[in-house]
Structure 1
Amino acid sequence: MNSIRLLPIVLVAISALLVFKTIGLVTQGGYVLLGTNQAMAQAQPDAQPGANAPDAAALSPSEEAAAARAAESLFASPNPASPAAPGDKTAATTPDGAAATDAKAPDQGSQAKLSPTEEAVLQRLSERRIELDDRANKLDLQASLVKAAEERLNQRIEELKTLEARVQALVDMQNAQGDKAFASLVSMYENMKPNDAAAVFNTLDMNVLLRLALRMNPRKMSPILAKMNTERAQLLTVRMASPQVNGSDMNALNNTAPPASSALPQIVGK
């Protein structure tokens, strides 16, 4: 009995469901109860004409992405540039220009906010910088002048060294010639007779006589010294035995020319 009673109920329910489904397909959902339709009409905004279909109210994936980007740009901070579509050149360039303008604005504001004291300090620093640059230029000029003077001085020193070498060569040559001539003179007095040489030595300048006596062979000089005047021989002996007669004195004696006969020193006897 229970199965006989449930079966008609199930059949009736299925039939009613099929009827409502058919009506819904024909009327596109118009079979919904009146109260429910009014609540949905109040909750949703008015649709545009011709947009009553359920598929017309749905958004495509590209439209959803565009809406998301618009929302991000709306709630994002003003400093970062909002993303723009690839084909929209205005949207790509305008944020950069605005950012550049915003970056320049603080500098202009900081310059406009300088106090008179700060401006005076900046002016003084600029003047000081100019003075330091001028001083640096002057120092560079002085350094270049000093360097040029040093180069000229070094060149002059080299020229003087060359000239000194030439003069020294001439002096050495002259000394060599003088030594050669003096050696000939010494040899001549050594070969003279003692009496003749003693007569000349008695009236000869003491410096020249000292040079000759020091250069002559002692065996040749001793007979001449024995024939000389006693006082003259004594003075020559003292001069030859003096410790001051060293190499430097000999050089001075060698470079001393014999004086004239009128300038001969007078020998005072004791």
Structure 2
Amino acid sequence: MKRVLFPAVVMAALLPAATGAQSPAPVVVQDGAVQNNMSALDGAPAPKADPQQSRIAQEPGLAGELLAAIAAERQALKDRTEALNLRESEINFASAALAEQERQLTALKEEIHQLLGLAETRHSEDITRLVQMYRAMKPAEAAAILSNADLEVTVLVIAAMPERDSGPILARMNMTRAQAVSKIILERSRLPGDQRLLNLKIN
């Protein structure tokens, strides 16, 4: 076994000899103890080896496996990120398409509303002209025509006329027709907006 002497210890042993004092016995230590003692003299603890690093150093194949696992994890994370980005793009596209459909639907509703308003206006104008035409006739002539006209048309015309004009016309219509028209006008006045002719039979 190799033996070494600390230089500082040797100097400490030589100094008493120079002054006539008895020299102490030399200190003999092993190589490992020298390193530990030197670290202790420097005031710093001896470094400890990392078990994981020691294992990787002892097993070269383990480092490759760890690198492969890390690479696989990164690739999986990248794929997941790309999938999420694609999904986000699809959602944004669908949202934009839905917004466009809503815009078109709103425009279509507005167009339909305008057309309905125009149709209602024209319908009212047509009824007004029709009423004026029947008012210009003699009551007997108007009654003869309305008695054979569509029941809904007859009701619309009679209901739109002032009472002083519709009364003489109803008086000259056949009784069944006059009763049916009167009943419908009465029911419509009780239920505004309900213009359906239900369970009405004319013999």
Equivalent of residue 248 in structure 1, options 193, 196, 202: 193
Matched with 1:150 is: 95
The higher radius of gyration belongs to 1
Alpha-carbon contact 2:56-2:62 (below 8 Å) kept: no
How do 1:92-171 and structure 2 match up within 5 A?
A: 108-113=53-58, 127-128=72-73, 130-171=75-116
Matched with 2:22 is: none
Matched with 1:174 is: 119
TM-score (norm 1): 0.49
Counting matched residue pairs gives 165
Matched with 2:42 is: 76
1:212 counterpart = 2:157:
yes
Give the fraction of aligned pairs with identical amino acids, expressed as a percent: 26
Unaligned runs of at least 5 residues, structure 2: 1-16, 20-37
Unaligned runs of at least 5 residues, structure 1: 1-41, 45-71, 81-101, 254-266
1:244/1:217 CA distance change after superposition, 3 Å: closer
Q: CA deviation at 1:151?
A: 0.8
Matched with 1:187 is: 132
Which structure has more relative contact order (CA 8 Å, sep 6+)? It is 2
1:114/1:237 CA distance change after superposition, 3 Å: farther
Matched with 1:91 is: none
Q: Give the distance between the partners of 2:72 and 2:101, measured in 1 at CA.
A: 43
Alpha-carbon contact 1:194-1:223 (below 8 Å) kept: yes
Please give the root-mean-square deviation of Cα atoms over the aligned residues, in Å.
4.0
1:128/1:108 CA distance change after superposition, 3 Å: closer
Q: CA deviation at 1:43?
A: 3.8
Matched with 1:197 is: 142
Matched with 1:229 is: 174
Q: CA deviation at 1:211?
A: 1.3
CA offsets, 1:147-173, max 9 Å, x none? 111112101211221232123223312
Alpha-carbon contact 2:143-2:170 (below 8 Å) kept: yes
Alpha-carbon contact 1:190-1:217 (below 8 Å) kept: no
Matched with 1:22 is: none
- The one-letter code sitting in structure 2 at the alignment partner of 1:76 is D
Q: Give the distance between the partners of 1:128 and 1:244, measured in 2 at CA.
A: 78
Q: Equivalent residue of 1:249, what SS?
A: coil
Q: Give the distance between the partners of 1:159 and 1:173, measured in 2 at CA.
A: 21
1:129/1:248 CA distance change after superposition, 3 Å: farther
How do 1:46-57 and structure 2 match up within 5 A?
A: none
Q: Give the distance between the partners of 2:62 and 2:148, measured in 1 at CA.
A: 101
1:125/1:232 CA distance change after superposition, 3 Å: same
